[in-house]
Amino acid sequence: MDFIRIIPAQRFYGSPAPPHRPYAFYADSYSLHGRTIADCYRLVNGLNLPPKVSGYEKECRTPFAWNYPCNGDPDAPLTKIGISSNGEVKYTAYPLDWLESTKYVVLRVNSFEAQKNLDSFPATWRALSYIVSDPERMGASKLSWNMRMEEFSAARIHALFCQAHSKSGKGLLAAMSSKENLGLSSFEKFPEWQEELEYYHYLSIDSGFTNEIVDLFGISHRCWHGCGYLGWPGFPLCRFFLLRNKFTPDIKLSVLGGRERYFYTETALG
């Protein structure tokens, strides 16, 4: 299995995700085999999904930012954003021929190397809960003005999370469990939607900073089902994973045009 991340070239600033995000979303590259890069981008961001299926809005089926102007965020779909007279945000996807004429930065890494060097997780509410509650992964330290912004964001949210849990009398997930016994080392199993909701409720114990957690990881909004795939429960189209937001020699970078096709081939382990 390989993981792939596709970023419009005009939104690529030298890192897989904005610097304040500890992890970045990658897709399962096998799901994208044979498609043009533009079509891969449309699929991963939910631009070519039906507006509503089985009660789920389009933006509820993809983890990425849909519901506010995104200021160049690489995880937000390339759309024209308009605001109606009553303040409602509207989206109009750029036409396919425009997306096909765009250049994309494509990052690809083998799952073995990602597990070894990029602390990879299935992209689920369970994984987010575990990461946020883990002081080491969130870079927890005494907050100070000397911290860089990208360090401060994660450390502050972890501190708020600990405070909320101490007030509620509940323990922290990372202190009670391991990545392995939570099933976060398995990349094959699809989690149950209802089970992931339990971890969402754990994560949203305090509504005040849940929005900040959403921004920290680039999630669309609280209605994302959080089961680690694009689609809706029972109908997966493409799986997602969380990898550390950093470059390593394991990550292969290429720049491809929207009309070029992506072909999945098993990457040899280095």
Q: What is the pLDDT of residues 34-89, one digit of tens each?
A: 999 999 999 998 888 776 655 556 666 788 876 656 667 888 888 777 777 777 76
Q: What is the pLDDT of residues 154-186, one digit of tens each?
A: 888 888 888 888 888 778 999 889 999 999 998
- Counting residues of the chain whose pLDDT is more than 70, the rounded percentage is 89
Note if the pTM is more than 0.85.
yes
pLDDT at residue 270, as a whole number? 44
Reported as type and span, the H/E element at residue 203 is helix 193-203
Q: Cα 25 to the chain's mean position, in Å? A: 4
65: alpha, beta or left? (left if phi > 0; alpha if psi -120 to 50):
beta
Reported as type and span, the H/E element at residue 210 is helix 207-217
Reduce the secondary structure of 81-138 to three states and give it as a string. Answer: EEECCCCCEEEEECCHHHHHCCEEEEEEEEHHHHHHHCCCEECEHHHHHHHHCCCCCC
Extents of the domains making up the chain: 2-257
